[in-house]
Structure 1
Amino acid sequence: MATETNDLGPLPKRITGGCLCGKITYEIKFPENHNFAESSGTCQCTQCRKSTSSLFFMYHRVPYSSLTWTSPSLSTHLKNYYCSEGRARGFCGDCGTFLYWRREAGPNISVAIGTVDPLYLFGEGHEATNGEVPKEGFGKALAYGGGGHEWVKNEIKGVTDDLKIVGAGKDGRGERVLTE
C-alpha cells in the first residue's frame, strides 16, 4: 500500500517498466529507507542528450540490487554503450529505448523515468490494483527532480536554463559531481 508524504504524494513500494517493444522489462522494489526526493534528477550533458534524444535526461537512481530484470531473453535484447570507460548506457537492441545510465563499479543505477510503466508513472489502469496504485500514479515521487542536476554547464539559454525541474530559478542551479 502506498503511503503519503507532504511534498511528493504517495510513495511506491515497487514499480515496473520496460522498453517500447516490451522485450526488456524490469521491476524495482524500493528499500524501506529509499529517499525519493534525493533519488530523482536530471542531466544536461551532451552524452545524455544524444542518447535520450531529449534536452535533458530525467532519471530515478536506485540501488542496482533493487532492480530485477524480468525479461525472459534479456541477454539477447539488452545492449550497453560506453561513451566513457566503465559507464554503461543501457538500451534495447530491438526498439532502441534508452533504459539507464550506470557506473559499473558503483552500487546504483539511474533508470530513465520515461521507461516506467504508465500505471506507476501517471496511474493509467489504477482501478485494477485494489488501492496499490493511486489514481495519479507515483510520477511526482519518481520524477521530482530534487536529487540534483548532474551537468548544467550545457544549458540552452532561454530554453533549459529557465525550467524549474532542471534547477533554474530561485531554487538555484549548480553542477553536481555524480557520486555512487
Structure 2
Amino acid sequence: MADQYNLGALPKRITGGCLCGKIRYEGHFPDNHDFKQNSGTCQCTQCRRSTSHLFFMWHKVPYSLFKWTASTDTLKNYYCSKGNARGFCGNCGTFLYWRRESGPNINIAIGTIDPLYLFGEGWEDSGGEVPKGGFGRALANSCGGHEWVRNEIPGVTDELELVGAGPRGRGERVEAD
C-alpha cells in the first residue's frame, strides 16, 4: 500500500456502544490482526438503509475476542438475509454491527467505537494505552475492501478516496469470512 495508508499506532483493544449507553462492548485484537484487511465498507441497499448513510464502514473483530460489557436487554437483531444479523439498540436505535452468524468475525460499525479509541478524546488519561489522535486510521482505513459497489452513487461514492483504498466488489463479497 502507498505511504498514505500508514496506519500508525495499532490498538490492542477497543470499547464502544450505543448512543443511550445501554449497550456496551469491548473487542480485543490478536497480535497478528491485519488492520488493513479487516477494515472496509459496504454500499448495498440493506447497509444504506440500516445505517441511514451512503455506506456502512466497519472493522472486523474476531468474535471470540469480543464481549458485551453491559446488559444486552435492549440489543435486537434484524435479519434481512438468512443467517446475517444486523444488531441495533432497541432503545435508541443505534446500528452496532453486522454479523454472519456462521462466521468468525463481527463487523463493528465504526461510529460506535468510543471517542478515546477513534480519535483520542481523553488520551491524556488513558495511561499510555491510547496515543494522541487515537487509532482512527488503523480502524477506519477501509483498505480491506468495498462490497456491493455496483450500488455506488455516480459522482458521489464512486469518487471518494476512502472508498477507493481497497479491492472493490461488484455485487458479490470481496472476501470470505
Q: Distance in 1 between matches of 2:74 and 2:43?
A: 27
Q: Distance in 1 between matches of 2:99 and 2:167?
A: 26
Does the CA contact (< 8 Å) of 1:90 and 1:99 recur in 2? Answer: yes
Unaligned runs of 5+ in 2: none
Partner residue of 1:3? none
Partner residue of 1:55? 54
Q: Residue type of the partner of 1:62?
A: V
SS at 1:37 equivalent:
coil
Q: Distance in 1 between matches of 2:80 and 2:169?
A: 23
Q: Residue type of the partner of 2:110?
A: I
Does the CA contact (< 8 Å) of 2:28 and 2:61 recur in 1? Answer: no
Q: Residue type of the partner of 1:30?
A: F
Q: Distance in 1 between matches of 2:167 and 2:98?
A: 25
How do 1:146-157 and structure 2 match up within 5 A? 146-157=143-154
Does the CA contact (< 8 Å) of 1:9 and 1:141 recur in 2? Answer: yes
Shift of 1:172: 6.7
Partner residue of 2:161? 164
Partner residue of 1:42? 41
Taking only aligned residues, the RMSD between alpha carbons, in angstroms, comes to: 1.4
2:102 is equivalent to residue 105 of structure 1: yes
Does the CA contact (< 8 Å) of 2:43 and 2:148 recur in 1? Answer: yes
Does the CA contact (< 8 Å) of 1:167 and 1:174 recur in 2? Answer: no
SS at 1:21 equivalent:
coil
Unaligned runs of 5+ in 1: 1-5
Among 112, 132, 138, the residue aligned to 1:135? 132
SS at 1:166 equivalent:
helix
SS at 1:94 equivalent:
coil
Partner residue of 2:7? 8
Identify if the C-alpha distance between structure 1 residues 172 and 30 changes in structure 2 by more than 3 Å, giving closer, same or farther.
closer
Does the CA contact (< 8 Å) of 1:42 and 1:59 recur in 2? Answer: yes
SS at 1:11 equivalent:
coil
Q: Residue type of the partner of 1:68?
A: K
Partner residue of 1:17? 16
How do 1:55-74 and structure 2 match up within 5 A? 55-71=54-70, 73-74=71-72
Shift of 1:31: 0.9
Partner residue of 1:31? 30
When normalised by structure 1's length, the TM-score is: 0.91
- Matched pairs, number: 171
Question: Runs in 1 of length 4+ with deviation above 2 angstroms?
Answer: 171-176
